[in-house]
Structure 1
Amino acid sequence: MTEEDAMSMTTPRTAGPETPTGIIERIGLPRPLVWGFVGLLLFMIGDGVESGYISPYLAAHGAGSATNAAIIISFYGLMVTLGSWLAGALSDVWGPRRVMVLGLVIWAVLQVLFLGIALPAASFPLMFAVYGLRGIAYPLFAYGFLVWVLGASPAHRLGSAVGWFYFAFTGGLPTLGSLVASGTEPVIGEYRTLWIALGLVVLGGVIALLGLRGAQGGGRQAAPDVTTGRSLLNSVAIAFTNPRVGLGCLVRVVNTAPQFGLFVFFPTVFADELGFGTAGWLRLVFVLGAANIFANLFFGILSDRLGWHRTLRWFGCVGCAIAVLLFYYLPQQAGAHYWVSVVCAALFGVSLAGFTPISVLMSLMAPGQKGNSIAVLNLGAGAATFVGPLIVAVFLSSLGAAGVTIIFAALYVLAGLSVHLLKVPPEARQIVAEGGTLDEAAGQDQRPS
């Protein structure tokens, strides 16, 4: 039996952990963290309120042009990447709870400055600084909580817990956030809707932090002698000192790089070449996102039973390779049959969720440095936002849309071939078999905070 097979069979049915009895446990939610998930959903709804209209709104209210608005949003994206990395690295030395508090405070303060000063002044430099810097905030809150989830959840149920995390995360940003905006904007306007967003973020943050009081896992993760600077350095060095973690980062890049790449040239394919128009393409994007939300939860729970490696390889990597090809080629053959495009978009969204177990594997490959592992994972997520468009920029003119799509499919196949190298060390397998948590096994400070 291979190590991977052994891990796949380490489930509540064969190992030491008790079979869940309550409804909360049966659906894969760690009971002590339930209010954290509720708060995260509300927080991300608030953060996602602006996602559907912020670019044109900035251009019309002080940025000066669509180009300047794009510059602001690009800086915001850079700060999101930085915050995603810092969330993991700082959680190791400060504890996830403090990182979440920091994210909430930064978001609220900068949003007030944005709405109360930058927008009324119609100042591009102020918008650039205040709105852009706010991008660091939501990853600190959200991914700080992810570190908490990975450390405090029973190891044999990590897939389910991570599935619920991404269900709340993507359910709020942008899906329900955009839905809230669609209801409030016609009634109270875009500006007041941004104040509604602030209220939702604060409400979600308070619910999460109060609801998590007393829950284990919110304190310092690292050894007493690890300083903040050393943790930041380790969060980069671990990708080289532990090659499996570095490879996991590359797999995470492959997860969504094609998605961001497709968004560059697929609008032309579906809106213009196939004649569905911009509205038709946007509906496909919604279908893709909606399918992905529920699939994150499904594959998270399934992976605890089927095995994290198997789920990642077959449903994530191989599934995306097939789905991305179908997404391009089937609509070409179907022509005016829009429903075919809808099915293909949904299939791709579902397959993307097959990568959910990568977060679990990253935490298990370095159980004593899970914060640093998640920092590297988040770097991969940030890198995907420009790797995908970069591939399009380099190859679209020479290979065309079909050629770029095939490149993306090939990347998924390569990722699938590398999954067997994401080996989990024996001590982590023992944690899973005994039904413990990574925090308990590491003997770290887990006092309620």
Structure 2
Amino acid sequence: MARSLSTDQSKQIFGLPVVLIWGYIAIAFFMTGDGIEQAFLSKYIVDLGFSTQQASFIFTVYGLTVAIASWLSGVLAEMAGPRRTMVLGFVLWIIFHIGFLTLGLEQKNYSMMITMYGIRGIAYPMFIYGFVVWIAYAAPKQRLASAMGWFWCMYSVGMGVFGTYLPSFSIPKIGFMGTLWLAIAFIAIGGLMAMFLIKDNFNSYKEERKDESSKLREMLRGITLVYENPQIAIASVVRIINQISLYGFVVILPIIFTEQIGFTMSEWLRIWGAVYATTIFTNLMWGILGDRIGWVRQVRWFGCIGMAVATVLFYYLPVSMGPNMGVGLFVAIFFGIAIAAFVPMSAIFPTLEPKHKGAAVSMHNLSAGLSNFVGPALATAIMPLAGVKGVIWTFAAIYIIGFILTYFMKINQPLGIEKTKIKDKIQVEK
């Protein structure tokens, strides 16, 4: 039985569900705090006296815990509700971030750095992917990619724009550690917004959710879904491929750009920030275009092929041209355009399993989290054997594999409003 939307629930602005607007803003604040260290932490750890491989391993462990938490967050949000899941995520983040700073970095204790940063990786997927479940229920099906595009837009505003550009100004003033302490303020603001300002009642979607007796089965389905539905399995691999270079690059490129090419840390931060600044617009653009030109077609040509080219350019152009900001910004913008073309993946998973949205979104989240793990893990494994070039060409080849896999993806994409009206008119005439 289809649920009837209230006036407030049905309102949208270019695909953004108005009832969730404070949640989108909370994502921007939270990801500012979470992303504030991403473009300089590996360099700072190396400056403390550790090797590049040691720094990379910290990110690899972090990626593994992110992957596990990313899978659990969708089912947890389905069971306990997105709001509780998001609040738990922000509290855990603050606790273990403080542990990472005081017991790890300040003491130069490698074991504690791995432990605290790794456990902190549980927190951010609970916050952001808990909200993805909320969107999956609140957004109209024919505008789901657009609603997810808004989510990734806010993600980029936080992670990339403020999270990356802010350190380029704060590090010269308060240093690396001061900037890392500053992150807590943004996390707290985002968490409090999620706690008190989102007015949508998730229980209103009860007809589409599982009853209490089936919640355990839903959790188990989150594990078995990849075997039961081959389309989910293929989509999962493509989603893992989506961001492998993004998370692999934050381990190796800060060092390459500052020590080999000759950029300053502030210049590098602004180049990396341009990736996310670009995705603010391209996440929305690709979300809207995907609803019109086809989700899979967009992922195939503009996502997979686009990222294969962008990955190679991001290394070779700056290395060949030297510390040229124009070149650095060009490759960053190109990279941002290409990586955002994967936006429809967030809509593909719940569409493939409409009766098990929570479990499907959990598989999407697990796949997204595995990008956090696979990218740094590949960089850690390949760097000693084939160097930076080996990492770059491995990433590019994997995107070509993703391109091939998209030909096996069969998605029954919902028609947009305009197409639905045309279809209905044709059926009436017949």
TM category (shorter chain) comes to 0.7 to 0.9
Q: Which residue of 2 aligns with 1:32?
A: 19
Measure, in 2, the Cα distance between the counterparts of 1:353 and 1:203: 26
Matches within 5 A, 1:43-58: 43-52=30-39, 54=41
Q: Partners of 2:240 and 2:43 in 1: how far apart?
A: 29
The answer as to whether partners of 2:164 and 2:270 remain within 8 angstroms in 1 is: no
Q: Secondary structure at the match of 2:365?
A: helix
> Cα deviations across residues 2-27 of structure 1 (Å, max 9, x unaligned)?
xxxxxxxxxxxxxxxxxx9xxx8343
Picking from 211, 218, 225, the partner of 2:213 is: 225
Asked whether the equivalents of residues 104 and 137 of structure 1 are also in contact (C-alpha less than 8 Å), the reply is yes
SS at match of 1:212: coil
Which residue matches 2:374? 387
Pairwise CA distance, 1:332:
6.8
Q: CA deviation at 1:315?
A: 1.5
More off after superposition, 135-144 vs 386-395: 386-395
Q: Deviations over 1:14-51 (max 9, x none)?
A: xxxxxx9xxx8343311111111111111222223344
**Mapped contact 2:147–2:287 kept (Cα < 8 A):** yes
Which amino acid in 1 is paired with 2:401? Answer: L
- Looking at structure 2, the residues matched to 121 and 401 of structure 1 have their Cα atoms a distance apart, in angstroms, of 30
Per-residue CA deviations over 1:206-259 (Å, capped at 9, x if unaligned) read: 22332222344687733432234x433321210111110111110012112234
**Matched residue SS, 1:368:** coil
For 2:354, the equivalent position in structure 1 comes to 367
- Match for 2:311 among 308, 318, 324? 324
Unaligned 5+ runs, structure 1: 1-19, 436-449
Q: Are residue 85 (structure 1) and residue 62 (structure 2) matched?
A: no
Residue 221 of structure 2: aligned partner = 234
Counterpart-to-counterpart distance in 2, 1:35 and 1:146? 14
Question: 1:342-384 CA deviation, whole Å, 9 max, x = no partner?
Answer: 3233212210110111111111001122222222222222323
Residue 81 of structure 1 and its aligned partner are, at CA, apart by 2.1
* Percentage identity across paired residues of the two chains: 36
Q: How many Å separate the matches in 2 of 1:254 and 1:281?
A: 25
Is 2:20–2:200's contact at 8 Å kept on the other side of the alignment? no
* Distance of 2:247 and 2:34 partners within structure 1: 20
Separation (CA, whole Å) in 1 of partners of 2:108 and 2:390: 44
- Residues 376-420 of structure 1, C-alpha deviations (whole Å, 9 max, x = no match): 222222323343455556667887766664554343233233324
Change in Cα spacing, 1:420 to 1:95, as seen in structure 2 (3 Å) is farther
Cα distance in 1 for partners of 2:280, 2:304 equals 18
Q: 1:219 to 1:191 in 2, by over 3 A?
A: farther
For 1:367 and 1:92, locate their aligned partners in 2 and report how far apart those are by CA, in whole Å: 14
Q: Distance in 1 between matches of 2:134 and 2:294?
A: 22
Deviation per CA, 1:30-88: give whole Å up to 9, x if none. 1111111111111222223344555677789xx98568776655543332222211111
Give the aligned partner of residue 346 of structure 1: 333
What residue identity is the alignment partner of 2:294?
Answer: G
- Whether the 8 Å contact between 1:51 and 1:174 is mirrored in structure 2 is no
Equivalences for 1:253-272 in 2 at 5 Å?
A: 253-261=240-248
Question: 1:265/1:213 Cα in 2 relative to 1: closer, same or farther (>3 Å)?
Answer: closer
**Is 2:344 the partner of 1:357?**
yes
TM-score by length of 1: 0.75
Runs of 5+ unmatched residues, structure 2: 1-6, 422-430
Aligned AA (2:20) = L
Give the whole-Å Cα distance in 1 for the aligned partners of 2:255 and 2:332: 15
Say whether residues 1:103 and 2:109 are aligned partners: no
Structure-to-structure mapping, 1:67-146, within 5 angstroms: 74-111=60-97, 129-146=115-132
Partner-residue secondary structure (3-state), 1:356: coil
1-structure distance, mates of 2:389, 2:81: 46
For the residues of structure 2 that align with 1:115 and 1:332, how far apart are their CA atoms?
A: 33
AA paired with 1:318? I
The whole-number CA distance in structure 1 between the counterparts of 2:328 and 2:104 is 42
Q: Provide the secondary structure at the position in 2 that maps to 1:423.
A: coil
Greater Cα shift, 46-55 or 30-39: 46-55
Greater displacement, 212-221 / 242-251 = 212-221
Counterpart of 1:13?
none
**How much has 1:105 moved relative to structure 2?**
2.7
Question: How many aligned positions are there?
Answer: 410
SS at match of 1:367: coil
* Structure 1 position 189, deviation (Å): 5.9
Measured at CA, do residues 205 and 288 of structure 1 come closer, stay the same or move farther in structure 2, by a change above 3 Å? same
Task: Say if 1:326 and 1:131 are closer, same or farther in 2 by CA, change over 3 A.
Answer: closer
- Aligned residue in 2 for 1:16: none
Deviates more, 1:286-295 or 1:388-397: 388-397
The one-letter code matched in structure 2 to 1:418 is L
| Secondary structure of the corresponding residue to residue 16 of structure 2 | coil
Report which stretch shifted further, 31-40 or 321-330: 321-330
3-state SS in 2 of match to 1:225: helix
- Cα RMSD, aligned residues only: 4.1
Q: Distance in 1 between matches of 2:176 and 2:321?
A: 39
Partner of 1:309: 296
* TM-score, normalisation: structure 2: 0.78
CA contact (8 A) 1:37 1:208 kept: no
- Code of the aligned partner of 1:147: V
The one of 279, 291, 298 aligned to 1:292: 279
Task: Decide whether the 8 Å contact of 1:148 with 1:218 is kept in 2.
Answer: no
Q: For residue 151 of structure 1, what is the aligned residue in structure 2?
A: 137
Distance 1:432 1:115, change over 3 A: farther
Q: Distance in 2 between matches of 1:341 and 1:57?
A: 21
- Does structure 2 conserve the Cα–Cα contact (< 8 Å) formed by 1:365 and 1:422? no
Q: What is the distance in 2 between the residues matched to 1:190 and 1:267?
A: 14
Structure 1, 166-175 or 63-72: larger mean CA deviation: 63-72
The residue type paired with residue 198 of structure 1 is I
Match for 1:310: what amino acid? R
